[in-house]
Structure formats: structure tokens, C-alpha cells
Amino acid sequence: MSDITMEQAHKVLEAAIDKAKAINTKMDIAIVDAGANLKAFMRMDDAWIGSIDISIKKAKTARFFDMPTGEIGKLSQPGGALYNIEHSNGGLISFPGGLPIKNSSGTIIGAIGVSGSSVEDDHAVADAGVSAIS
């Protein structure tokens, strides 16, 4: 199994932090490896404490299902194919801010989860992190 390296995780984290600063927001940013284990984490100064758990769960959710958390959210609405999925796996997060991380050959090697602002900002910061090694 391919796995995100420490160097890659730090690069993703740094790019996400740079994006958060650029859009003037404070974020909790979690990176998990291919096994959905926490690999790197940063709580920016004054970021919400409640978003720590959310960022980690977004990263795990993105890795568990190898898709953006926002896509899972669309599928988990009442009447949807994945309705109530957020209650599985010890709790999932099904709104934007979690993305799988792929290596240059397209293999998923981990995921990022970001929380602390609007879901649009969370997604933008996560996307900046992923783009750092894609």
C-alpha cells in the first residue's frame, strides 16, 4: 500500500496553512495516512477548539470512502443512497472540507480534513493542501 510520507504531509499542511492565511481565516487541519491514521495536524492560533475533531473526522471520512466529504453529503440526504451514513465508523462528517490525497500516479495515499470557517473556505483550504503534491 502506498502511504503519504512525513515530508508530503508537511508540504500539504504548509500549503493549507498558507491558503488559510491568504483568505484570512483560522483553521484546524488534519492529514491522515492511507490507513486513515492521523499523520499530521495543526490548530492555527485562535482556531475553534470544536473544529479539531471535525477536521480529523473529515480527513478520515474522505479516506474511508475515497471521495470528497461534500460528495458524501449529497448522497446522505434524506432519501439518498447513503442516508444516515454519518452515524457509522464512530462518526463521519458529510459536508465539504475533506479530500483524498493522491500521489503523482493517482494512487490515494491519505486525506486532508479542514474545519474552522465556512464549508466553502474549508474546501478551498483542503484543495490548496492537496494541490501541493498532486
The pLDDT tens digits for 31-40 are 999 999 999 9
Enclosing domain of residue 14: 6-131
Q: Are 112 and 12 in contact (CB under 8 A)?
A: yes
Burial 2-24 (b: 16+ CB within 10 A, else e): eebeeebbbbbbbbbbebbeeee
Total count of residues recorded for the chain: 134
Residue type, 104: S
Split at pLDDT 50, 70, 90, the class of 1 is low
Instruction: Quote the number of domains for the chain.
Output: 1
Q: Would you state the pLDDT for residue 80?
A: 81
Q: Would you state the pLDDT for residue 45?
A: 97
Within a domain: residue 94? Answer: yes
Average pLDDT value for the chain: 93
Query: Would the pLDDT of 124 be above 90?
Result: yes
Within a domain: residue 1? Answer: no
pTM beyond 0.85: yes
Over residues 5-26, mean pLDDT? 97
Q: Is 90 exposed, middle or buried (0-12, 13-18, 19+ CB in 10 A)?
A: exposed
Q: In percent, how much of the chain has pLDDT > 90?
A: 78
Of 39, 34, 49, the residue nearest 11 (C-alpha): 39
Split at pLDDT 50, 70, 90, the class of 94 is confident
What the block records as the C-alpha cell of 117 is 470557517
What is the spatial distance between Cα 107 and Cα 98, in angstroms, rounded to a whole number?
17
The packing angle between helices 119-131 and 6-22, to 10°, is 140
- Give the model confidence (pLDDT) of 39-93 as tens digits: 999 999 999 999 999 999 999 999 999 999 998 888 788 888 877 888 787 878 8
Report the CATH number at residue 102: 3.30.450.150
